[in-house]
Amino acid sequence: MPVKPIPDGYHSVTPFLTLRDAAHAIEFYEKAFAAKSRGVMQGPDGKVMHAELQIGDSIVMLSDEFPDFGALSPQALKGSPAGLHIYVEDADAAFDRAVRAGAKVDTPLMDQFWGDRYGRLTDPYGHKWSIATRVKEVSMDEMKHAMDQATAEMQQQRKKTA
């Protein structure tokens, strides 16, 4: 039987997270994002060498940090420039579940000019997540107009507080 170049269940891009205390992070992701474990491989010391979670229709790979091999967590790096975005049927329920599980709110959930009900969180391990539900189809012209309007309003607000 021929080997599939992209295995079943995977998409072209699969995120891989490096975490401090991956075993607890897996528990958090199960509570916060309804993740389902696809398997966890531990090394002799009990650290997670490789794990896979299913979140919605996507797979997320993860492991503990291994500084000797350059695998550093956001805590070791003092932050992370990357984030993960999840589209769900009900952003309010998903966002609330993640907050109850221990995520910190960065941007409250609200309807955004690009057509999504959207909010941003940081998980207890330093990774950034955004959660969204598409609530309105917006053309690129409408989005540009709304973005320009939002930018002008932010600039006015900054002038008032300066």
Is residue 12's pLDDT more than 90?
Answer: no
Does 11 fall in a domain?
no
Rounded-to-integer distance, Cα 102 and Cα 30, Å: 12
Question: What is the distance between the alpha carbons of residues 116 and 121, in angstroms, rounded to a whole number?
Answer: 16
Tokens read off for 111: 């309807």
Give pLDDT tens digits for 91-145: 999 999 999 999 999 999 999 999 999 999 999 999 999 999 999 999 999 999 9
- Residue 5 within a domain: no
Q: Whole-number mean pLDDT of the chain? A: 94
Domain with 25 in it: 16-161
Ramachandran angles phi, psi of 109, nearest 5°: -70, 125
Residue 154, pLDDT > 90, answer: no
Residue 8 included in any domain: no
Number of independent structural domains in the chain: 1
Mean pLDDT along residues 17-41: 97
Strand pairing class (36-42; 48-55) = antiparallel
Question: Residue 102 sits in a domain of what CATH number?
Answer: 3.10.180.10
Question: d(Cα 23, Cα 33) in Å, to the nearest integer?
Answer: 15
